[in-house]
Amino acid sequence: MTSAPAVATPTRARPASAAVLLAAIVIVSLNLRPAIAAVPPLLDAIRTELGLSGAAAGALTALPVVCMGIFAPAGAVVARRIGRERGLAAALVLVAIGSLLRGVPGLLPLYAGSTVAGIGIAIGGTLLPGLVKAWFPDRAGAATGLYTTALVGGAMAGSALSVPLHDALGARWTWALAVWATPAVAALLVWWPATRAVHGDERVTTRGPLPWRSGTAWLITLYMGGQSLLFYTELTWLSPMYVDAGWSARDAGLLLGLFSLTQLFTAFGVPLLADRTGTRRPWIAACMATNITMLLLLALVPLGAPWVWTGVLGLAAGGQLALGLTLLVDLAPTPAAAARLSGMALGGGFLVASTGPVLAGALHDLMGGYRVPFLVLAGIGLGTMLCGVALGPNRRVEA
């Protein structure tokens, strides 16, 4: 008779090691968005060189998100087979390899590199909530807010630095994308000794099905999918929309940088405020209502106050993402349950999200402008808000 695999006991971070662990998590998180965010500011250059349609260009951002959806459930398997720490190290290796592949000229390396990087991002993103649940069970909101801020910071760096890197490297967009392998390697060199010294490499038992029968799990999956769809579509098409309106690529890239910059404040601050009030729902409603309002303004009066619209849109996006990631920790009773819930919510959510950039690109090609795509996004935002506010404090996903 085969004995059941041992269950790793959740390991709270000791006070002396908490700062080290948080720093390591932040450094890893900084590398889980630049591979996606670096592409939109360079879309015009990529489309011109490779002759891509709007839908095909949107697929460049959507492809890593598709991979994040397909491979997010693999995070639980990785945690069981090689441990969370080694799993995150492997994720960083994949991000670095994918970034380097995109440095090779041609359509195939561009899409192949985006795929490999997307797999790494999927595994890394799925493992982080389980680590927070295990290491910081009493400070989930603060720890989640911190690493969400790092995710946003990485996206900001990717979007704001892409065009300057492109110009500095001889107008080669391939090199501007390949550069992002460097911080991924640096993060690996920090992550490995930090986590090995503190905890060794724990394997965790995550056997059991994903919570497909849980209504709460489906609600959070729909919420994560909707808010991610809004984010990645906004990330993909904000900059090209203003380039089409006559802005320079540099100014449009700076606008996208502002979108990421303002997310930093709410990604960290909103979970802390939600912890103090004891409920997430009012904050979800506020963030989503703000997002919807800004989408309507971008659709109807895009040149009215674009810096204001974009900055406030970023505030909404940062808060709604952080709240969703916090719910993955809140609603799961154990680290193993958090890994399974993350696999379902992030996997299904990212698959939903991946349709956004492509759909918006296709609507742009069909309608000849951005008004209809952004109005459609506002409608999706309304449905997402309804799913989010339905996640009351009494809801729970079974272990």
- pLDDT at residue number 198: 57
Residue pLDDT, tens place only, 161-218: 888 898 898 878 999 999 999 999 999 999 988 887 655 445 555 556 778 888 899 9
User: Mean pLDDT, to the nearest integer, of 265-279?
Assistant: 84
Q: Is pLDDT at 260 greater than 90 in this prediction?
A: no
Domain count, the chain: 1
For residue 113, the domain's CATH number is 1.20.1250.20
Q: Is residue 399 part of a domain?
A: no
Burial code (b: 16+ CB inside 10 Å, e: under 16) for 335-357 equals bbbbbbbbbbbbbbbbbbbbbbb
Q: Is pLDDT at 27 greater than 60 in this prediction?
A: yes
Q: Is pLDDT at 33 greater than 60 in this prediction?
A: yes
Q: Is pLDDT at 2 greater than 70 in this prediction?
A: no
- pLDDT at residue number 296: 97
Q: Is pLDDT at 331 greater than 90 in this prediction?
A: no
- pLDDT at residue number 309: 96
- pLDDT at residue number 6: 40
User: Mean pLDDT, to the nearest integer, of 141-155?
Assistant: 84
| Residue 398 burial (C-beta neighbours within 10 Å; 0-12, 13-18, 19+) | middle
H helices then E strands: how many in the chain?
16, 0
Q: Is pLDDT at 5 greater than 50 in this prediction?
A: no
| Residue linked to tokens 């904050």 | 283
Strand, coil or helix: 189:
helix
- pLDDT at residue number 236: 83
- pLDDT at residue number 339: 75
Residue pLDDT, tens place only, 339-353: 788 888 888 888 898
- pLDDT at residue number 203: 52
| Residue linked to tokens 């000849």 | 368
User: Mean pLDDT, to the nearest integer, of 136-161?
Assistant: 82
- pLDDT at residue number 235: 83
Q: How does residue 310 score in pLDDT terms, banded at 50, 70 and 90?
A: very high
Q: How does residue 39 score in pLDDT terms, banded at 50, 70 and 90?
A: confident
Greater pLDDT, 277 or 13: 277
Residue pLDDT, tens place only, 370-380: 999 999 999 99
Q: How does residue 72 score in pLDDT terms, banded at 50, 70 and 90?
A: confident
Q: Which of 64-73, 219-228, 272-281, 335-344 has the highest mean pLDDT?
A: 219-228
Q: Is pLDDT at 1 greater than 50 in this prediction?
A: no
Q: Is residue 352 part of a domain?
A: yes
Mean pLDDT, all residues of the chain = 85
Q: Is pLDDT at 77 greater than 50 in this prediction?
A: yes
| Residue 162 φ/ψ region, left for φ over 0, alpha for ψ in the -120 to 50 degree band, beta for the rest | alpha
CB 123 within 8 A of CB 134: no
CA-to-CA separations, 246 to 147, 242, 303, in angstroms, rounded: 36, 6, 11
Q: Is residue 46 part of a domain?
A: yes
Greater pLDDT, 298 or 56: 298
- pLDDT at residue number 8: 42
Cβ neighbour number for residue 320 with a 10 Å cutoff: 31
Q: Is pLDDT at 119 greater than 70 in this prediction?
A: yes
Residue pLDDT, tens place only, 291-307: 999 999 999 999 999 99
Q: Is residue 40 part of a domain?
A: yes
Strand, coil or helix: 170:
coil
Range of the domain at 47: 18-389
Cβ neighbour number for residue 246 with a 10 Å cutoff: 9
Calculated CA dihedral for residues 225, 185, 47, 150, nearest 10 degrees: 40
Question: Which of 384, 359, 330, 349 has the alpha carbon at shortest distance from 122?
Answer: 349
Residue pLDDT, tens place only, 216-243: 999 999 999 999 999 989 988 898 899 8
Question: Which residues lie below 8 Å from residue 34, measured CB to CB, with a gap of 6+?
Answer: 154, 155, 157, 158, 180, 183
Strand, coil or helix: 115:
helix
Question: Which of 223, 241, 361, 371 has the alpha carbon at shortest distance from 296?
Answer: 371
User: Mean pLDDT, to the nearest integer, of 68-74?
Assistant: 84
Q: Is residue 396 part of a domain?
A: no
